Amino acid sequence: MVRFIDARIVSARAGTAGHWCMLLLAGLMACMLCAARPAMAQNATAGVDDNTYVHFFVVPATAPEGHAFHEEIIALKKMLIDRAGGFTQLGPSHGGHLRPNGNIERQDNISFVVASTEDMRQELVDFIRKHFNEDQPFVLVTRGWCSLY
């Protein structure tokens, strides 16, 4: 149990030394709480087994010339089934970035999520660059837990 002591009472009884003791006590308590936070966070996630890599990525829905990437998306889905056992196509999404002239370039995309026991980030980046002509593909990878593994 933590008890809070009014610094005015201590100062009145002990003079300036009591005030410094209160400041020291408050500083020590703050240090103890900061030191305890990582341990508390570790205990909160101790039961989680990160058994998979979760990949979120987007591919453009259409080429700059206007044609749909129909064949490329089929090839992507086949590769994902072959390498990861499946995929989840989240559907249409929209993104954008700033052009050198200050205008926003908007892009219509298709979003995917894939869980795999292997980190596929480089394979995904290379595939998207080659088949979708993207210089800087957006691929986000994190560790997670999947009921399939």
Place of tokens 């196509």: 89
pLDDT attached to residue 53: 96
DSSP calls for 4-39: ---HHHHHHHHTHHHHHHHHHHHHHHHHHHHHHHHH
- Taking only the tens place, the pLDDT of each residue in 15-60 is 544 443 343 334 444 444 444 444 444 444 554 678 999 999 999 9
pTM strictly above 0.75:
no
Contacts of 114 (CB under 8 A, 6+ apart): 54, 55, 57, 80, 84, 86, 87, 88, 120
pLDDT attached to residue 29: 44
- Do 56 and 112 touch, CB atoms closer than 8 A? yes
- Do 45 and 97 touch, CB atoms closer than 8 A? no
End-to-end CA distance of the chain: 44
Domains and CATH numbers, the chain: 7-44 (no CATH), 52-144 (3.30.70.120)
- What Cα–Cα distance (Å) separates residue 109 from each residue in 26, 91, 94, 138? 53, 8, 6, 11
pLDDT attached to residue 49: 77
Confidence of residue 148 (pLDDT cuts 50, 70, 90): confident
Mean pLDDT of the 101-107 span: 93
- Do 124 and 84 touch, CB atoms closer than 8 A? no
- Taking only the tens place, the pLDDT of each residue in 53-95 is 999 999 999 998 889 999 999 999 999 999 999 999 999 999 9
- Taking only the tens place, the pLDDT of each residue in 114-125 is 999 999 999 999
